[in-house]
Amino acid sequence: MTKVLVSDPVDQAGIDILSQVAQVDQRTGLSEDELVSIIGDYDGLMIRSGTQVTAKVIAAASRLKIIGRAGVGVDNVDVPAATQQGVLVVNSPEGNTIAAAEHALAMMLSLSRHVPQAHSGMRNGKWDRKKFVGNELYKKTLGVVGLGKIGSHVARVCQAMGMDVIAYDPFVAADRAQQMRVRLTELDDLFRTADYVTLHIPRTKDTENLVNADLLRTMKPTARIVNCARGGVVDEAAIAEAIDQGVIAGAGLDVYASEPLAEDSPLRAVERGLVLTPHLGASTEEAQENVAIDVAEQIRDVLLGLPARSAVNIPGLSAEIMQRLKPHLQLAETVGLLVSQLAGGHVKELELRLQGEFAHHPSQPLVIASLKGLLSAALGDSINFVNASLEAKARGIQVLEVKDESSRDFAGGSLQITTRGDQGSRSVTGAVFADDELRITSIDEFPVTVSPSRHMLFTRHRDMPGIIGRLGSMLGEHNVNIASMQVGRKIVRGDAVMVLSIDDPIPDALLETINGIDGIQEAHPVTL
C-alpha cells in the first residue's frame, strides 16, 4: 500500500488530499535516527521547516519518490542527495507569497512607528508620545534585494504607498524592471541609497552573511533593514552592533541563522530600533492552508504517475514551464522511449534537434524528458525527471542540442531525436498537432504520420508487392489485431518503413517468424 509520512504540523486540508491516494501517518518531532528507522516504509514525505531531511535519511528511503516542503525554502533538505537517488523535491513557491510580503510590510511599518516598543510601554502603564516619534514611508526610497514573487509584491505595494523603489537582482532583465517601474542598481549602490532595505533572497554559499558589518556601514544612519527571507543572509552580531552604535536606525528580523534564536543572541540585548518575530512570515491561516493544499496535490499527482508543478531539482521545470510545455515534454519522452527500442545496443550519443517553433522553447526540460524516455526501457521506474541527466552522464551518453528555427515542416514545429551507438544511428521525429495530439512524423527520415499507441511494430523492408499482405496475414494467424497501419517510403521500389499499432505485444516466436519474411530487413516491437 502507498504510504506518506507527514513529519511536521500541516493544515488538515493537505492531509485530506493525501488520504485520497495513500495511507497517511502523522509523526512529528522525529530525530534523525528515528526518521531513518522508519522512512524506508514510505513513498512520500511531507515536511515544513522543522524536519531535517539529511543525506543519511535519504539513503535509508528505499521507496521514497517525493519530498514535499509545505513552504518555499528547502534548505532543510539535502537536495543533491535526493537528486542522486532519484527523489523529487517539490515546494510551494506561491502559497505563502502574500503572507511573507505582508509580514515584510508589517515589519517596515512597525520599525517606522516603533509599534512594539510603544505597545510594551503602554502595557507597563506609560504614555511616551514624545519618545516614539516615527517616520513616514511616503516618498522614501525602498531597496528590494531579490525581485521574485515576494519581492515584486512588496515593491508594488510600497509604490502604491508613495515610495520610490530600486532593486538588485542580477537575473531580472532591464525591460522587466522597467515594466515594474523599478530601477535596477548594484548591491552597494542600493545599500548606500535606500532608506529601507528588504531582503528576498535564498540562503546560499554566495548569500550567507551577505549583509555584514562593512555593508551596513555604507547605509544611511536613518536607514532600516528588513529580513523576512532566510536566516543566515545577515550577520546578526553585526546588525545588533550597527543599531546599538547608531550606524543604522533599525532592523526587523523574522528569520535567523539558527532557529529558535539562542537566548544569549546579541539581538536580544538591543533595546531600541529592533523588531524580532519568531519566523512568522508564512504564519497566516490562509498561507498554511494554501501551501498544505499545493504540496499535498503535488505529492498526490506524483504518486499517481503525473508530473509535479514545482520541482526544485528538475532544471528549468518551473510550474509555468511545466504547464506550457506539457504536451512537448510528453512528446520528447515518448520519442526518446521509442528511439531507444529501435536503437537496440548501447547509445553513445543523443542529439536533440528542435525545429521551427520548438526552437523557441526552453531546451533543458526537453532534453531531460528525452533522456528519461531513452533510459526508461532499460531502467524502468528507477529513472525519472530528477535523475535522468545524472544516469545518462554516468553511462557516458553525450547530449547534443541543435536549434533550427528555419524549419517549417509543421506549424508548431517538430522535435527530432537521433541516437548513435554500437548498432549505428536511428532517428525519430515527432510533432504536437491540434488539441495537443502527439504524432510520429518520420522514422530514419522516412515520412509517416502515426499516433503513438501502447503496442507498436516497426519494420524496414523492400518496397515490393505482397509484403504488407504477408505480414498482415501472419499477424492474423497469431490472433494479433492491427489497429492502424502506416507505410512510408522515399523512392518507389526502394526501402520503406511500416508502422503498425497493435492491440497486444508481439510474442518472441512470432517476431522471429516476421524477421524471416522475404523482403523484411528488420522488425522491432515497441511498447510505450
pLDDT of residue 316: 52
Instruction: Give residue for cell 549602490.
Output: 189
pLDDT of residue 239: 97
C-alpha span between 296 and 48 (Å, rounded): 12
Q: Give Cβ neighbours of residue 213 (< 8 Å, ≥ 6 apart).
A: 235, 238, 241, 242
pLDDT of residue 493: 83
Q: Do strands 495-502 and 446-450 pair parallel, antiparallel, or not at all (unpaired)? A: unpaired
pLDDT of residue 175: 75
Please report whether residue 498 resides in a domain.
yes
Please report which residue ranges of 124-235 form alpha helices under DSSP H. Answer: 149-160, 174-179, 187-193, 213-216
Distances (CA, A) of 497 to 25, 145, 491: 53, 58, 12
- Same structural domain, 141 and 194: yes
pLDDT of residue 345: 66
Please report whether residue 308 resides in a domain.
no
Of 34, 136, 259, 522, catalytic? 259
- Same structural domain, 124 and 248: yes
- Same structural domain, 325 and 469: no
Query: Which residue range(s) make up the domain with 499?
Result: 453-528
pLDDT of residue 171: 60
- Same structural domain, 350 and 210: no
- Same structural domain, 26 and 127: no
Q: Give Cβ neighbours of residue 202 (< 8 Å, ≥ 6 apart).
A: 73, 75, 229, 230
pTM over 0.95: no
Q: Do strands 141-145 and 164-168 pair parallel, antiparallel, or not at all (unpaired)? A: parallel
Please report whether residue 119 resides in a domain.
yes
pLDDT of residue 250: 96
CB 205 within 8 A of CB 176: no
CB 365 within 8 A of CB 318: no
Looking at residue 234, the DSSP 8-state letter turns out to be B
Active-site residue flag, 113:
no
CB 351 within 8 A of CB 417: yes
- Same structural domain, 443 and 485: no
Taking each helix axis from N to C terminus, what angle separates 467-477 and 508-515, rounded to the nearest 10 degrees? 160
Active-site residue flag, 279:
yes
Please report whether residue 414 resides in a domain.
yes
Of 230, 300, 461, 524, catalytic? 230
CB 335 within 8 A of CB 367: no
- Same structural domain, 87 and 111: no
Please report whether residue 309 resides in a domain.
no
Q: Do strands 438-443 and 446-450 pair parallel, antiparallel, or not at all (unpaired)? A: antiparallel
- Which of 448, 483, 513 is at the close of a domain? 448
C-alpha span between 7 and 148 (Å, rounded): 29
Of 279, 395, 470, 489, catalytic? 279
Active-site residue flag, 259:
yes
- Same structural domain, 165 and 246: yes
Please report whether residue 162 resides in a domain.
yes
- Same structural domain, 435 and 467: no
List the CATH number of the domain containing 15.
3.40.50.720
List the CATH number of the domain containing 517.
3.30.70.260
- Same structural domain, 339 and 432: yes
Distances (CA, A) of 39 to 5, 53, 70, 80, 126: 8, 10, 18, 18, 54
CB 45 within 8 A of CB 67: yes
Please report whether residue 81 resides in a domain.
yes
- Same structural domain, 432 and 461: no
How many domains does the structure of the chain reveal? 4
- Averaged pLDDT in 10-residue chunks for the chain of 528 residues: 95 95 95 96 94 95 94 84 86 85 97 93 91 94 91 95 92 77 94 97 84 97 96 96 96 94 95 94 90 94 83 64 78 92 83 88 86 79 69 79 78 88 87 89 91 92 88 88 89 88 89 88 89
143: helix, strand or coil: strand
Please report whether residue 323 resides in a domain.
yes
- Same structural domain, 246 and 120: yes
Please report which residue ranges of 464-503 form alpha helices under DSSP H. Answer: 467-477
Please report which residue ranges of 312-466 form alpha helices under DSSP H. Answer: 319-324, 326-343, 363-379, 388-394
